[in-house]
Structure 1
Amino acid sequence: MAANHAQPVSGLLTGRLSALMFLQFFVWGAWNVTLGLVMQTVGLGSLIANAFSVGPIASIVGSFLLGMAAARFLSPRMLMVVLHLVGGVLLFVLPTLLTPEHGASFVWLLLGYMILYMPTVGLANTIALKSFGERVDRFPFVRAFGTLGWIVAGLLIGWAHLSASPQIFQIAGVASLALGLYSITLPNVTPDAPQGKSLAAEVFCTEAFGLMRNRSFLIFILCATLISIPLAMYYAYASPYVGAAGIENVGGTLSIGQMSELVFMFSMPWLYRRFGVKPLLLVGMVAWALRYALFAIGDGGAGIWAIYAGVALHGVCYDFFFVAGAIYTGTIATPKGVNAQAQGMLTLFTYGVGMLLGSQIGGLLYAQLPATPTIADWQHMWWYPAIAAAVIALLFQFTFKNTKTETHA
C-alpha cells in the first residue's frame, strides 16, 4: 500500500504536473485575452465574433474526434506531444494572416488550431488525475497553476506592450512547442479502458443525457447554457472595450480577473458544503449581471473604477457558477457512475452551445457599433448582457429547487 501512495504524494510529481498546467493555460491566455483588441487594431473587428466562435466549435468537434475517440487508442502523453507540437507550428503561421485580405483564412486556421488545442485541456486533467491515483485532493493545487499561467501570460503581454500586436501568437507558439517537448517527460498513464459500450454511446454521452430526467439538473443545464451566452461576450469584447477606455496595459488589467478567480477557487468546496448549490449558483449569475452593469457605466475618466471592479468580479462570476456547477454535476452523476460523461456534457452545453450562441449574438450587437467605437458606444452595448444575465438569474431563482442529492457533495 505504501508503494501505491508514494508517487501521488511526491513533491516532484506535484511540481511536474504543476508545470504542465502552467504551460497548458499560458499558451491559451497569451493570445486569447487580447485577440479582440488585436483584430480591431488590424481592421478585422467585424470578424471578432467568428474568431471567438471557433473555440466553442472546436470544444465540440475536438473533444469528440480527439479527446474521446483517439484517447482510447493512444496514450494521453503521446497525444499531448503531437497536438502541442503541431499546434505550435500553426500559432507561428496565424500572425501572417492577420490582415484584411486574409481575415477569412485567419479564422479558418484558428479553427484548425483550436480543434488541436481544446482536447489537450481534458488530456492534461486526465494525466494529472490518473497520476495522483487516490490522492485526487492534490488536483486543485495543481490546477491552480493553470490559472496562474493564464495570469502570467496576460501580465507578460501587457508588460511587453503587445496587447494590440499579432506577436501574441508567436509568444503562444514558443510556449506550445515547449509544452509539446515537455510532455514527452510526463507520466505515461494508460488510455481509458472501454466500458463495454459502443464508441458512439460513449462519445455522445448517452447515459449522461439521461441525468436530465432530474428536473433540477435539467434547469441547471438550461441556465448554465444561457449564462454562457453573455460570458462569451466578455471574452470576445472586454479587451477592445478596456482599450477604448484609454487603459494601455489591457492584458495586465484583464489578468486581475484571473487573480480573483485564483482567490475564490480554493474556497469553493467549503462554500459548497456550507451553503449548498443554489445560493452559490445564484450569486454567480447575479455577479454576471452586476459586472456588465459596471461595464455599462465605466469610462476612462471618473468612472474607470467601474471597469476595474467589473474585471475583478470574474472570480465570483466564474467560480461561483462554473466551479460550483461542476461540483453539483458530480453529486448528480457520481451515483450513476457517469461523472466523466456528465462533466463532458456540461462543457458541451456551456463552452460549446452557450458560448457559440454568445459569440454570434455578440457579433450582431458589435455590428451595430461604428467602425471605431467610443466608450459611450461600448457602454450602450454592455446593457444587453447585463439585462440578459439578470433575467436568467430570476429564471433560476424561481424554477430551481434544491434536492437531497446535493447534500452528498
Structure 2
Amino acid sequence: MNVLSSICYGGDYNPEQWPEEIWYEDAKLMQKAGVNLVSLGIFSWSKIEPSDGVFDFEWLDKVIDILYDHGVYINLGTATATTPAWFVKKYPDSLPIDESGVILSFGSRQHYCPNHPQLITHIKRLVRAIAERYKNHPALKMWHVNNEYACHVSKCFCENCAVAFRKWLKERYKTIDELNERWGTNFWGQRYNHWDEINPPRKAPTFINPSQELDYYRFMNDSILKLFLTEKEILRDVTPDIPVSTNFMGSFKPLNYFQWAQHVDIVTWDSYPDPREGLPIQHAMMNDLMRSLRKGQPFILMEQVTSHVNWRDINVPKPPGVMRLWSYATIARGADGIMFFQWRQSRAGAEKFHGAMVPHFLNENNRIYREVTQLGQELKKLDCLVGSRIKAEVAIIFDWENWWAVELSSKPHNKLRYCR
C-alpha cells in the first residue's frame, strides 16, 4: 500500500511547541526542502482535550490547512502516546507499576497501564473525535497510532494487570490443572488451586517460574496490541480508505512484530544507529527485518536523526554526507519513505538537544538544513521506485517468542543472548 505516489519525505512536526508565526515559516522551509509528509499531533492529547470531554481543534485545523496549502500531507497522530495531567489526577491508578511495586509518575511520557479500563474508554472517545474531525480533509494520508508502543513501559505489574492476566490465563489454559501442568508448579511448591492466587511475576526472593515469565511476555504483548487494535477499529470505521500504522523499533524485544504486522497497513519503524560504529550492519539487518514483516511489502523509515541524538553517553553527530548515504541505503532495502525526528529542534523539554531537520541556529549556510534540502530534492527524482520489491537470496530465522524464552532469568549461562 503506497501512502503517496512519490517517496515520503519529512518528519515529526510539533507545532504546539511554537507560536503561530513559526508555522508559516516552517511550511515555507518544508516546501523548499521537498517535504511532502509530516507526522502531526502525536503527543497532543493535552492540547486537543485540555479538560475531560472538552476538545479544542482550532489550532490543529489551522496547522493542517497551512501545511496543505504548501503541498505537505499529513500522517496524523491519534495523540494517545501520553495521557494528560487531568487524566492522571482523575485516575491515579492508571499510572503503571514496576515489578518492585514502584509507581511510575507523570512528568515523562507513556505513563499508563495498558489494562486500565478508563484509559481504553477515553482513548476511544479521543480517537473517534479526531477521526470524525479530519476524515474528509484532503491532507490526511495516513494514521499514526500512539507512538513507539512499550518503549518505556513494556510491562506493568499493577492490580489491573493482575486481573487481566488471570483472565488471559483462563482463556489460554482453560483449567487450573492444565496451567499447573504446563508451568510445572510442583517445583518449589508453587502449585495454584484457584485463579485468584496467581499474580504477575513481581519481584521475588530469587528466580521466578520461567513459564510464568514467558507467559507474561505474551500477555503484555497482547495487552498493548489490544490498545492498538482498539484505535484501529475506530479509524477503520470512520476512514476505511486511510492506511493505519504505528512506528516499530527494529528488533525491539518486548513486542512480537510479526504478530503486530498482521494488523498494520504498512510497516513503519524508527532507526538510530550510532555513528561511532561506522557502517551500520545492524541497521541494514533491521531494514531487512522490517521489510520481512509483511512479506516484502515496502516500509517507511518513520524516524531517524539528521545529526545527533541526545540520549547516548556520547552523542556524536553524523559526519557530512552520512545521513544521505544511510537514507539511500534504506531505500535500497525497501523503503518507500525517509522521515526524521523531528522537523524543528525543540527549544525546551527532554529532547531539546536532539538533532532535527531544522536546527536551533538556522541560516542559509547551515550544513544540516542544506543536506536535508539536497536529499529532499533528489528524492523527487525517484518516484519510479515507489512500490518496488526486493528479491532476497538469503534468509535468517528470527522469532520473538524464542528470544523471550532464551533470555529468561534461569538459563544455561548468563551470557546467552539471542539478539545483540
TM-score by length of 2: 0.27
More strand by share: 2
Larger Rg: 2
TM-score by length of 1: 0.28
